């Protein structure tokens, strides 16, 4: 089943919309950056068909079930796809997880903060979520700093079920 409609919202510089099958080449590129593989993990997306299947199997079903999932972040000035941000239901977490990733050339330009600030506002006002969580590896200082800037507080550690790595766990209550 495919998404019948997509959710979209904007900031001054960005369009943030639900990831669709048409985003597969971009998703393949993003998931194969060294930063993605180091900080998020290898998803074995080797070609556009793998990316399409990942979108169909992982992203779209959650969107259809919960009304939120992965979003593609597009720079409005030139319609270039620069990253992703999303709300995810993760096994073992009692709240929705905020996640994000950007192509290396678009990092440290404020795009991650701008898109995720809007996503957090949308999570609380549109989706009526009461709390958000976020996880990151200990070495990913840039993500930790972004989470702190967004108002998240570190609350401990988290282990994804069936994995041994301890991740840092952050939480944000009720909005900004």
Question: Average pLDDT, stretch 66-84?
Answer: 97
H or E element at residue 142: helix 141-149
Q: Is residue 118 part of a domain?
A: yes
pLDDT digits (tens, 9 = 90+) for 19-35: 999 999 999 999 999 99
For residue 3, being part of any structural domain is answered with: no
Rounded Cα distance between 72 and 20, Å, is 8
Mean pLDDT of 86-97: 92
The answer to whether residue 2 is domain-embedded is no
- The enclosing domain of 34 has a CATH number of 3.40.630.30
Q: Count how many domains the chain has.
A: 1
pLDDT tens, residue by residue, 119-149? 999 999 999 999 999 999 999 999 999 999 9
- Residue burial 137-173, b: 16+ Cβ < 10 Å; e: rest: beebeebbebbeebebeeeeebeeeeeeeebbbbbbe
**Residue 160: pLDDT band by 50, 70, 90 thresholds?**
confident
pLDDT at 159 over 80: yes
Element at 129 (helix H, strand E): none
> Which domain does 53 fall in, by range?
8-173
1 domain residue, yes or no: no
Domain assignment of residue 49, yes or no: yes
| 44/1: higher pLDDT | 44
pLDDT at 41 over 50: yes
Share of the chain above pLDDT 70, in %: 95
Among 18, 171, 176, 175, which residue's Cα sits nearest to residue 95?
Answer: 171
For the chain, percent of residues with pLDDT exceeding 90: 86
Query: pTM, whole model, 2 decimals?
Result: 0.92
């Amino acid at each position: 089943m495919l998404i019948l409609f997509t959710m979209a919202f904007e900031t001054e510089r960005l369009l943030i919309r639900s990831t669709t099958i048409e985003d597969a080449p971009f998703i393949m590129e993003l998931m194969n950056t060294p930063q993605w593989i180091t900080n998020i993990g290898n998803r074995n997306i080797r070609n556009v068909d793998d990316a399409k299947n990942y979108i169909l199997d992982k992203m779209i079903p959650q969107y259809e079930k919960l009304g939120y999932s992965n979003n593609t972040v597009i720079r409005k000035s030139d319609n270039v796809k620069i990253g992703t941000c999303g709300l995810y239901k993760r096994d073992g977490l009692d709240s929705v997880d905020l996640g994000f990733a950007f192509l290396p050339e678009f990092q440290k330009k404020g795009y991650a903060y701008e898109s995720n600030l809007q996503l957090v506002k949308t999570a609380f006002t549109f989706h009526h979520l009461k709390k958000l969580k976020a996880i990151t590896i200990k070495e990913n200082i840039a993500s930790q700093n972004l989470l702190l800037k967004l108002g998240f507080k570190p609350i401990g550690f988290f282990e994804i079920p069936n994995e041994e790595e301890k991740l840092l766990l952050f939480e944000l209550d009720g909005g900004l």
